[in-house]
Amino acid sequence: MTTSRRNFAAIVASVLVGAAFAGTAAQAQTKLRVASNFPVEHTASKALEIFKAEVEKTTNGALQVDVFPAMQLGGATENTDQIRSGTIFAAITSIAYFTRVVPEYEAVSLPFLFKSREQAFRVIDGPIGRILDEKMASKGFTSLGYGELGFRHVTSNHKALKTIADFENMKVRLQPNEVHLESFRALGANPVAMDIKELYSALQQGVLDGQENPYNIIHTRKFNEVQKYMSDTGHFFDFINAAANKRAFERLSPEHQKAVRDAMQKAFAWQRAEAAKLDTGYRDQLIKAGMTFTPIPDATRAELRKATSKVVDTIKKRVDPALVDQVLAAVN
């Protein structure tokens, strides 16, 4: 063989070896698509960045995480459907959007159930949370942890909310959570279930009178631009859930499963602390931006609690009454 032919053969061999190595590396690397319907500046979306960094660091890049915040892959309803179908690996959203397939989440969504975020997390981090995770698993989801969306408050574009009578006939947007809807029907309002992605335009066009959300959502979604009045009703405490497609999660090696779980726990530990720290600051920024803030008097809050107290009886028709009683016992 001539020198030139030997050189050519060596080059071809080198290319083939390099291609084989590249193919092996590509096969060894797994990409995880994870979505969030929250704005980029929201703590939930920032928690995704922590999750991404931790997973990639712990697995030395064997797992690559592509994050899609700010409804890049659709609204919350679409994200939950995408997890279930396996189109995406996981998503972070309110537990309300999982109640369609796991109605047991309604048991921790009862009105005026929690007095503080600390009390709420004691419940969700204990046996109740493990029961809910098992329910999720039976529906094809793997729960990766819970964060804080926070106490929800009502806003309006027509009048300040001071008394229970102010809720009468109010057309208000709520999440697709039946216990939430029933609670506002009990107040005499006309609740409408609507995905968050449609809410701003519905308020802007006057299709709705008002909405309810934590201060952080009202601020980061700029609802103050289309709502004038805000009250500190605090009627529900809402959790964020990170859920993955169960089949996709179980295809990961045990080491990579642990890396994913540990990374989300670290991300949510940061998110919970940050959400608590920023909560009233968001309210103050909304007031500064021009919203009229009306604190709910204690007497009105007591009336709201009394008017919605029967909702616990209706939820027991949809989920195991024993679970509801277990939640109430854990709270008390």
Over the stretch 109-146, which tens digit does the pLDDT of each residue have? Answer: 999 999 999 999 999 999 999 999 999 999 999 999 99
Average pLDDT, the chain: 93
Q: Note the pLDDT of residue 262.
A: 98
Whether 152 contacts 208, CB under 8 Å? no
User: Considering only 13-17, 186-190, 242-246, 288-292, which range has the smallest mean pLDDT?
Assistant: 13-17
Q: How far apart are CA 302 and CA 311, in angstroms?
A: 15
What is the percent of the chain where pLDDT is above 90?
Answer: 91
Q: Note the pLDDT of residue 13.
A: 43
Q: Where are the domains of the chain?
A: 25-331
Mean pLDDT calculated for residue range 152-162: 96
Beta strands 237-245; 210-213: pairing state: unpaired
Q: Which carries the bigger pLDDT value, residue 29 or residue 95?
A: 95
Q: Which carries the bigger pLDDT value, residue 27 or residue 70?
A: 70
Confidence of residue 28 (pLDDT cuts 50, 70, 90): low
Four-residue CA torsion sign, 283, 198, 44, 324: positive
User: Is 60 exceeded by the pLDDT of residue 25?
Assistant: no
What pTM was computed for the model?
Answer: 0.91
User: Is 70 exceeded by the pLDDT of residue 2?
Assistant: no
pLDDT tens, 265-298? 999 999 999 999 999 999 999 999 999 999 999 9
Confidence of residue 29 (pLDDT cuts 50, 70, 90): confident
Beta strands 141-151; 63-68: pairing state: unpaired
pLDDT tens, 200-258? 999 999 999 999 999 999 999 999 999 999 999 999 999 999 999 999 999 999 999 99
Residue 1 has which token pair?
């063989």
Q: How far apart are CA 222 and CA 242, in angstroms?
A: 24
Q: Note the pLDDT of residue 3.
A: 45
Question: What does DSSP assign to residue 157?
Answer: S
Mean pLDDT calculated for residue range 93-106: 98
Sheet holding 210-213, edge to edge: 190-193, 171-174, 210-213, 153-156, 229-231, 292-294
Q: How far apart are CA 35 and CA 65, in angstroms?
A: 10
User: Is 80 exceeded by the pLDDT of residue 99?
Assistant: yes
Question: How would you label 233-249 residue by residue, b for 16+ Cβ within 10 Å and e otherwise?
Answer: bbbbbbbbbbbbbbebb
Confidence of residue 98 (pLDDT cuts 50, 70, 90): very high
* Assigned superfamily of 25-331: Bacterial extracellular solute-binding protein, family 7 (3.40.190.170)
Confidence of residue 151 (pLDDT cuts 50, 70, 90): very high
Question: What does DSSP assign to residue 176?
Answer: S
User: Is 80 exceeded by the pLDDT of residue 20?
Assistant: no
User: Is 50 exceeded by the pLDDT of residue 4?
Assistant: no
Q: Note the pLDDT of residue 260.
A: 98
What element of type H or E holds 193? strand 190-193
